[in-house]
Structure 1
Amino acid sequence: MTETTTAVAEVLAELASLEDPKARAINEKHGDDHGVNLGKLRAIAKRLKTQQELALELWETGDTAARLVALLICRPKAFGRDELDAMLREARIPKVQDWLVNYVVKKSPHVEELRIAWFADPDPIVASAGWGLTSDRVVKSPEGLELPALLDTIEAEMKTAQERLQWAMNNTLAQIGIEDAGLRARAIEIGERLEVLKDYPTPPNCTSPFAPIWITELVRRKEA
């Protein structure tokens, strides 16, 4: 048994010991099949520090909690383009996909190539990652993006899109409205007409994900 294999077994055992049925019940409502408190999971990753080989072994277990640890201890720039593509296509669990995109892919030299490929993918779960990366570009580096064309696609497809893809498209809609004053009125109008997430339950003191409200509130804060 190799040292890495031993470490994998130890991490899996520790994660199993942290399993909480109440946490699992909450997570499963969001499509996440694990019951480990994320603060405790992050503490494990912090203790392990960066270990690329261990990260790869943990990912290969297929266990959601282990994969989340893997994403925290890996070296994002060590992955090839095809490796990240394969990982994304395996990452059907929302939290795993979210962490993979935000903690690994966004730090990869292959991020733009993957954004373009995923954006046009027929699999709505894969496409949602492409739209998520597009939202990030709208905020950080919109140069070269055809924002009116993005609004055209959102207008035509968001209403009937699969849930995760719809959420990602709505995020792009909101970010365009927030960041681009010239397209703000159109973004708000699209949101009002499509009514996507209009009735989404929003806790007190939180901003609604309904694009017209989201755009208006974030612009107000930026201009305050």
Structure 2
Amino acid sequence: MTLTPDLLLHAYRSGIFPMAESRTDPELFWVDPRRRGIIPMDGLHISRSMARVLRRDDYRVTVDRAFERVIDGCADRPDTWINAEIRALFVALHHAGLAHSLEVWDGDTLVGGIYGLEVGAAFCGESMFSRRRDGSKIALCWLMDLLRRAGFTLFDTQFLTEHLASMGGIEIPRAVYRARLQQALLGVSDFTGTPLAVSGHELVQRNTQTS
């Protein structure tokens, strides 16, 4: 069966997602983790050191300005599950207004980013990358702030890494994830119509769960 953007959307709405063994492997396999990684919408953890980084504002943040460069940045590592088919499917979904990226810039240089898929009021985070210290953490903080204000109720990280756990990520059982997903699919969100925070200082103030 040929995987189309519509079929991919159906898969995410069902709680599964595709991966490849490597960038050169043309085959995809479906993943349905027994325990699912999420960051609760009110659970973003900004440490004191991260708050200082965010407040410096020695970077700028954009949305959907460089989607293909972000997905390529995420795949630019020795081992990646993003092959040519996954890239093409997500680029098509981006053009359809459903896949989004958030970019972190140092001047005109792309230094970090994150991308994912919007399904109802759920945002399925796919991957992030960093080319400067804390680039991916900056991207994640700005994305979470945007999602909360845009009406999203579920942020799916697929798996829980040490990096994500340090920022508030948790694991929930598959059945709990699917129940939350079904609720989120009934919700309404507005990713593109919601403005970014004015500054890192505003973002930190709004997200008061600091340590």
Same fold (TM over 0.5): no
TM-score (norm 1): 0.27
- Select the structure of larger CA radius of gyration: 1
TM-score (norm 2): 0.28
Pick the structure with more helix per residue.
1
Pick the structure with more strand per residue.
2
